Amino acid sequence: MQNNKEDLLSIESKQAVSSYFGAMTFDHKAMRARLPKEVFQSLQETIKAGREITEEIAGVVAHGMKEWAMDNGATHYTHWFQPMTGSTAEKHDAFLSIDRDGTAIERFSGEQLIQGEPDASSFPSGGMRTTFEARGYTAWDPSSPAFLMKGGSGLTLCIPTVFISYNGEALDAKTPLLRSMNAVSKSAVRLLEVLGVTGVKRVKTFAGIEQEYFLVDKKYSAERPDLVMCGRTLLGALPPKGQQLEDHYFGAIPDRVLEFMQEVEHELYLLGIPAKTRHNEVAPHQFEIAPVFEEANISVDHNLLVMEVMRKVADKKGFALLMMEKPFAGINGSGKHNNWSIGTDTGINLLDPGDTPEENIQFLVFLVSVLKGVYKRADVLRMSIASIGNDHRLGANEAPPAVVTAFLGELLERVLDAIESGKIDLKTEKQVLNLGLSQVPVVNKDYTDRNRTSPFAFTGNKFEFRAVGSSQAASVPNMVLNTLMAEALDDMADAMLAKISAGKDRDTAILETLREEITATKNIRYQGDNYSDALQKAAEERGLPNLKNTPQALRTLESKDVQAMFIKYGVLSHEEIDSRLNIRLERYVKGVDIEARTLQLMLKTLVIPDVSEYQGDISSSYNNLASAAAEIGLADKALKSQAKHLKTLAENLSLLIDLTEELDGVAEKLETLDGEFAKADYCADVLLPFMVKVREVADRLELMVDRSRWQLPTYSEMLFEH
Ligand code: ADP
Ligand code: MG
C-alpha cells in the first residue's frame, strides 16, 4: 500500500502526462476498477439523469472510494464545498473508527459519503438562518469527481459537495450554478425543438477559465503589511520603468517561475485538470495559466483547485501568489477570462457557425440570444463580478470598463447588418456560405483576441467574458450567464411560437424573430476601443448601465425584475438573493475597513517614522553645513537650495501626518453609519478616495527618502528583481 502512495507522489516527469493524468481522482477508470460493474453502471446512469443516489449504491461506492483512497495513502476524508466566501471549505475526518470491542478499523459509510454536517453557523448565511437553527449540511455532487489532495505529508480524500440548509436553501455558490445549468438546458432544448432540432435531451454550458496572477518573492511580500493583509499594495511609487516597454508579454519565462509552473501543472495533472497554456502576461511578474475548457461546474471546481494548488506551490517555492485584481497601482491588473459556450449532449457547439445553412441559422439564433440576454441583463452581469479588487481594475485604462458591451468582429457585424436590412435571405444556401460563415477555421483565426478591450468578446465559437476578477470564484458569473441565457432563449422561442400560431411558417417565424432581435439588441454591440472615452459616451447615449463600483453594482440584486428572473428559473429564491446581497455588501465593507486600518498602520509605524528619521539626518546635516558655511565660504544661494530641499521634505511630512490623522476620523466614521448600503457607499465614495489622497503624499515622499531609511520593499524591487 505504501508503495502505491510513493508511486503517486514521486511520478517522474519523464513519464508522459497522459499516463498519470487524473491518477489522484476517483474517475471513470478508478471507479471501474473499484466498483462492481452493476454499481458502476447504475451510478453513471444516476449521475446522467440527475437522480438521487440510493443508500445502497452509496454504501458500495463509499467502500470502493475508501479502498482506493487508502491504497493511495489517504487517512482522512472531507466534504469539499464552496461557502459564499468565494473560496472553498473543508473539515477533515479520519477514516479511523474504534469498534465496540476497542479494535481500530477504517470506516467510510454511504451516509458519510452522501451527507456531512459541518458547523454551518460559522459560514456566512447572509441572515438566512437564525442562529438556533444554524444547521446546514453538505451533500455529495457526484458529477464532480472525488480527488486526493496533498497537504502536510499526507493525502486527504476530498468529496465535492453542495452546501444547503435544512430548509433546502443554498448556502453555497455551487448549488445555484448547478440549478442554472439545468435552467439553460431546459430553455435551449425547447428552442431547439422550435427550430426543428429534435433528439437533444440536454444542453450543456462550458467554461474555459484563463487565470492571471502575479508572483512576488516572499522576502519582499512578507515585509509589506498591505500584501499580507489585503493582497494588494496600498502604497508604493511607480518605478521609472513600468510596463511601458511591454517587454514581458510572452517573453521568456524566468527559470524560477517555470519551475513553479511545472510543479503546479504536475499537481494539476494528477488531479485530472487539463492545464494547457502558460505564459508571461503584460505586467512584469504577471503570468497566466489556462486549462482546457470543461462543463461549467467542473471548470469552476477546477479553477478553485488551480488557485489552491498554485497557492501551495508558490509558498513552497518562496513566492507570494498575488491573485488580487489590482495588486499594484499603475500596473496591469489580473483577470480571469471566462470563455463560455453552450452545446448539446450530442456534441454540437451551438455557438459554432457550422457548415450548412441550417447550422448557420441555429448558430445565429443562439448568437443573437446571447446578445439579447447580455443586453437585457448587462447590470446583472456587471453585478456578478463586482468586488473591491475588481473595482480598481475595471475602468482602469488597461482593463475592461464597468460598462458591459459585446464584440462580434467585423464579419459577424456585416452578417447581422445584412440580415437586419433584409439584404440576405438565410434560406438560400449560397448567400450564407458566400458570407464566409461556414469557414470556421478562418473565422476562428480572424476573431482570436481581435479586440482585447472588449469585456465580452465573441472569439470564433465561444464568448470570452474578460471582466471577471482574478481572485473570484467563477461560479457566480457562470451562474448569471446561464440564467440570462435561459431567459433569452425562452423569449426567442416564445416570439417564434407566437408567429407560428399567427399562421406564419416556421422559417419565416425564425427569420423575422432573428431580424427583430438583431435590431432590438443593437445597442449592446460595440466594436470600438472599450478603454476610450468614446465608449463612456456611447454607454450614456445608448442607456447602457455604467455601474462604477461594487455597491452600485450590487443594487441590481434589489431590482424586482432581476429577482423575478432568478426565481422564475429556479436558480435563486428570494431569500437566497437577499442573503447573497447581504454577504457581498458585508464582505465589501469589511474588506475596505481592513484596507483602511492596514494603511493607517503602515503610515504610522513605517512611513512616518522612516521619513522623520531621514528628515533628522538632513536637518542635522543642514545645521552642520550652516554653521560651517562662513568658514568654507559657501554662498548663501547654495545654502538656500539645501534649505529648500529640507523644507519640501518637512512640508510633505507634515501634510502626511495631518492626512493620516484625518484618515483616522474618516475611517472611524464608518462604524457610526446605519445600514450596509450606507456603509458600502461611504467606502466607495469617501473612504477609498481618501486613502488614495493620503497615498499620493506617501508615494511622493518615497521618492525623496534615502532607500536605506525606507523599510517597505519598493515596486522596483518587487517587480523587477528576481
Ligand atoms: P486565448 O484567448 O488566450 O487566445 P483560446 O481562446 O484559444 O486562448 O482559449 C482560451 C480558453 O478558452 C481555453 O481554456 C480554451 O479551452 C477555452 N475554450 C476553447 N473553446 C471553448 C469553448 N467552445 N467553450 C468554452 N471554452 C472554450
Ligand atoms: Mg482567450
At residue 443, the pLDDT reads: 38
With the most atoms of ligand 1 within 8 angstroms of its CB, the residue from 339, 348, 448, 463 to mutate is: 339
pLDDT digit string (tens) for 503-513?
999 988 998 99
CB 449 less than 6 A from any atom of ligand 1: yes
> Based on the number of CB atoms within 10 Å of its own CB, is 675 exposed (0-12), middle (13-18) or buried (19 or more)?
exposed
pLDDT digit string (tens) for 93-128?
999 999 999 999 999 999 999 998 877 677 777 777
Helix (H) or strand (E) holding 363: helix 357-376
In whole angstroms, give the CA distance from residue 421 to residue 108.
65
At residue 249, the pLDDT reads: 61
User: Is the four-CA dihedral 611, 612, 618, 622 of positive or negative sign?
Assistant: positive
What predicted TM-score, i.e. pTM, was given to this entire model?
0.93
CA 631 to chain centroid, in Å, comes to 67
CB 299 less than 6 A from any atom of ligand 1: no
CB 205 less than 6 A from any atom of ligand 1: no
In ligand 1, which atom is closest to the CA atom of 209? Answer: 14
Whole-number Å distance, alpha carbon 444 to ligand 2 midpoint, is 12
Question: What angle, rounded to 10 degrees, do the helices at 475-501 and 357-376 form?
Answer: 120
In whole angstroms, give the CA distance from residue 223 to residue 466.
32
CB 347 less than 6 A from any atom of ligand 1: no
Residue 438 has pLDDT above 50, yes or no: no
In whole angstroms, give the CA distance from residue 379 to residue 579.
19
- Confidence class for position 433, pLDDT limits 50, 70, 90: very low
In ligand 1, which atom is closest to the CA atom of 349? Answer: 23
Residue 434 has pLDDT above 50, yes or no: no
In ligand 1, which atom is closest to the CA atom of 343? Answer: 23
Residue 581 has pLDDT above 90, yes or no: yes
CB 302 less than 6 A from any atom of ligand 1: no
Give 309 or 401, the one with higher predicted confidence: 309
For atom 11 of ligand 1, the residue with the nearest CA is 208
Using alpha carbons, select from 342, 333, 346 the residue that is nearest to residue 233: 333
> Do 2-172 and 588-720 show the same overall fold?
no
Whole-number Å distance, alpha carbon 293 to ligand 1 midpoint, is 6
375: left (phi over 0), alpha (psi -120 to 50) or beta: alpha
At residue 436, the pLDDT reads: 43
From the DSSP assignment, how many helices (H) and strands (E) are in the chain? 28, 17
Question: What angle, rounded to 10 degrees, do the helices at 506-520 and 410-420 form?
Answer: 120
Q: 589 by DSSP, 3-state: which?
A: helix
Angle, vertex CA 119, rays to CA 113 and CA 122, nearest 5: 135
At residue 10, the pLDDT reads: 57
Residue 453 has pLDDT above 50, yes or no: yes
Distance set, CA 417 to CA 94, 408, 453, 531, 650 (Å): 63, 12, 22, 25, 64
Q: Which CATH class is domain 2-172?
A: alpha beta
Q: Which of 183-197, 363-377, 426-440, 484-498 has the lowest mean pLDDT?
A: 426-440
Residue 305 has pLDDT above 50, yes or no: yes
Distance set, CA 56 to CA 45, 245, 315, 390 (Å): 15, 63, 43, 47
In whole angstroms, give the CA distance from residue 291 to residue 299.
9
Residue 431 has pLDDT above 60, yes or no: no
Residue 370 has pLDDT above 60, yes or no: yes
With the most atoms of ligand 1 within 8 angstroms of its CB, the residue from 363, 459, 462, 478 to mutate is: 462
CB 341 less than 6 A from any atom of ligand 1: yes
Q: Give the CB-side neighbour count of residue 291, counting CA atoms within 13 A.
A: 28
Residue 437 has pLDDT above 50, yes or no: no
CB 448 less than 6 A from any atom of ligand 1: yes
In whole angstroms, give the CA distance from residue 719 to residue 254.
13
User: Is the four-CA dihedral 688, 690, 693, 699 of positive or negative sign?
Assistant: negative
Domain ranges of the chain: 2-172, 180-572, 588-720
For atom 12 of ligand 1, the residue with the nearest CA is 208
Q: What is the mean pLDDT of the chain?
A: 90
pLDDT digit string (tens) for 323-338?
999 999 988 899 999 9
Whole-number Å distance, alpha carbon 463 to ligand 2 midpoint, is 9
User: Is the four-CA dihedral 391, 395, 399, 403 of positive or negative sign?
Assistant: positive
Whole-number Å distance, alpha carbon 290 to ligand 1 midpoint, is 8
At residue 494, the pLDDT reads: 98
CB 303 less than 6 A from any atom of ligand 1: no
Instruction: Tell how strand 456-458 and strand 406-407 pair up.
Output: parallel
Residues in the chain: 722
- Confidence class for position 528, pLDDT limits 50, 70, 90: confident
pLDDT digit string (tens) for 384-397?
999 999 999 987 76
pLDDT digit string (tens) for 266-291?
999 999 999 998 888 878 899 999 99
CB 336 less than 6 A from any atom of ligand 1: no
Whole-number Å distance, alpha carbon 309 to ligand 2 midpoint, is 22
ipTM of this complex prediction, to 2 decimal places: 0.96
pLDDT digit string (tens) for 611-647?
999 999 999 999 999 999 999 999 999 999 999 999 9
Residue 12: CB atoms within 10 Å: 6
Whole-number Å distance, alpha carbon 337 to ligand 2 midpoint, is 7
- Confidence class for position 7, pLDDT limits 50, 70, 90: low
At residue 521, the pLDDT reads: 97
In whole angstroms, give the CA distance from residue 694 to residue 657.
9
> Based on the number of CB atoms within 10 Å of its own CB, is 71 exposed (0-12), middle (13-18) or buried (19 or more)?
middle
Contact 338, 473 (CB under 8 A): no
CATH of domain 180-572: 3.30.590.10
CB 550 less than 6 A from any atom of ligand 1: no
Please identify which residue in the block is written with the cell numbers 477559465.
209
Q: Which CATH class is domain 588-720?
A: mainly alpha
In ligand 1, which atom is closest to the CA atom of 293? Answer: 16
pLDDT digit string (tens) for 67-89?
999 999 999 999 999 998 888 98
